[in-house]
């Protein structure tokens, strides 16, 4: 019997990718400099200007697209820096606990599939996830609510029986509320941003009224264990 769905955000909620993404972007800028015979600074400016045009759209998160645009190999900078990926304390434990309580763990991310697959493989937690919904799959950012709608439909679960857990008020909380989900705001993700995005992470600081707030991942366990958090399961 399914107790409910949990839509877990990835960056800033289950993982700290700031060092990894920083290194990947640096590597791409170096490759651009080499290929176009530019100074490192010129290459950085070129890459940043390119990214700025994609701000506020899901392709901003698509490293494969960025690599294609500059005629680079997307995989090499990712693989070379995977050792910088860090799971946040408690990630494995909360995913395991959620499963044992009868929830399905759905990873809902603005990342694209090829990149998140590499990272999950490295992190060794793929077997704890029942589904992965990416921005290239739904062709939208999480702020649109599409990730949630697609997951609810796929698993035939009503919104009232699902939870969104995330660190971004716009991407993870307001969007989920609009679809009718319960929400858990991960306060601790506030400072874990992408190195090239501080100017667009202002929505991190937007005030939001979630159903629950957690200051560490482990704080979610009693919330998940509560009998009343979601209505009783409606199907086997």
What minimum distance in Å lies between the beta carbon of 156 and Mg ion? 27
Applying CB under 5 A, what is the total number of residues that bind Mg ion?
5
Distance between CA atoms of 219 and 95, rounded to whole angstroms?
13
What values do phi and psi take at 105, rounded to 5?
-95, 115
12 binds Mg ion (CB under 5 A): yes
Whose tokens are 């494969």? That residue is 64
Q: Which is nearer to Mg ion, 102 or 198 (CB)?
A: 198
77 binds Mg ion (CB under 5 A): no
Q: Check residue 117 and report its DSSP letter.
A: H
What minimum distance in Å lies between the beta carbon of 227 and Mg ion? 28
- Three-class SS string for 168-197? CHHHHHHHHHHHCCEEEEEHHHHHCCCCCC
> Residue 197, Cα to own-chain centre: how many angstroms?
15
Q: Which is nearer to Mg ion, 11 or 134 (CB)?
A: 11
Q: Which range binds Mg ion by CB under 5 A, 3-11, 35-43, 66-74, 83-91? A: 3-11
Q: In what order do the strands lie in the sheet with 182-186?
A: 131-133, 103-108, 4-8, 162-166, 182-186, 212-214
Candidates 3, 4, 6, 9: give the one binding Mg ion (CB under 5 A): 9
Rg, Å, the chain Cα set: 18
Q: Which range binds Mg ion by CB under 5 A, 5-13, 87-95, 99-107, 226-234? A: 5-13
Burial class (CB in 10 A: 0-12, 13-18, 19+), 223: middle
11 binds Mg ion (CB under 5 A): yes
Contact in structure between 157 and 2 (CB atoms under 8 Å)? yes
Task: Give the contact letters, 163-202, x = binds to Mg ion (CB under 5 A), - = no.
Answer: ----xx----------------------------------
Q: Which residue is nearest to Mg ion (CB)?
A: 12
136 binds Mg ion (CB under 5 A): no
Q: Which range binds Mg ion by CB under 5 A, 28-36, 162-170, 203-211, 215-223? A: 162-170
Residues of this chain that interact with Mg ion (CB under 5 A) are 9, 11-12, 167-168
């Amino acid at each position: 019997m399914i107790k409910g769905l949990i839509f877990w955000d990835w960056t800033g909620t289950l993982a700290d990718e700031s060092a990894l993404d920083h290194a990947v972007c640096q590597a791409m800028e170096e490759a651009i400099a080499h290929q176009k015979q530019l100074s490192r600074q010129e290459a950085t400016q070129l890459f940043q200007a390119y990214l700025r045009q994609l701000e506020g759209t899901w392709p901003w998160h698509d490293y494969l697209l960025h690599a294609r645009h500059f005629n680079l190999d997307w995989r090499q900078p990712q693989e070379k820096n995977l050792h910088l990926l860090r799971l946040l304390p408690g990630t494995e434990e909360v995913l395991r606990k959620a499963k044992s309580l009868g929830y399905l763990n759905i990873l809902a991310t603005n990342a694209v599939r090829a990149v998140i697959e590499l990272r999950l493989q490295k992190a060794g937690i793929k077997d704890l996830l029942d589904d992965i919904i990416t921005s290239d799959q739904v062709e939208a950012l999480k702020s649109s609510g599409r990730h949630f709608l697609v997951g609810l439909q796929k698993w035939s679960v009503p919104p009232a029986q699902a939870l969104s857990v995330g660190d971004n008020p716009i991407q993870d909380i307001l969007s989920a509320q609009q679809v009718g989900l319960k929400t858990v705001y991960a306060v601790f993700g506030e400072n874990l941003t992408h190195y090239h995005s501080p100017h667009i992470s202002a929505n991190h600081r937007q005030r939001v009224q979630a159903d629950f707030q957690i200051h560490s991942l482990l704080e979610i366990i009693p919330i998940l264990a509560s009998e009343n958090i979601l209505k009783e399961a409606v199907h086997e």
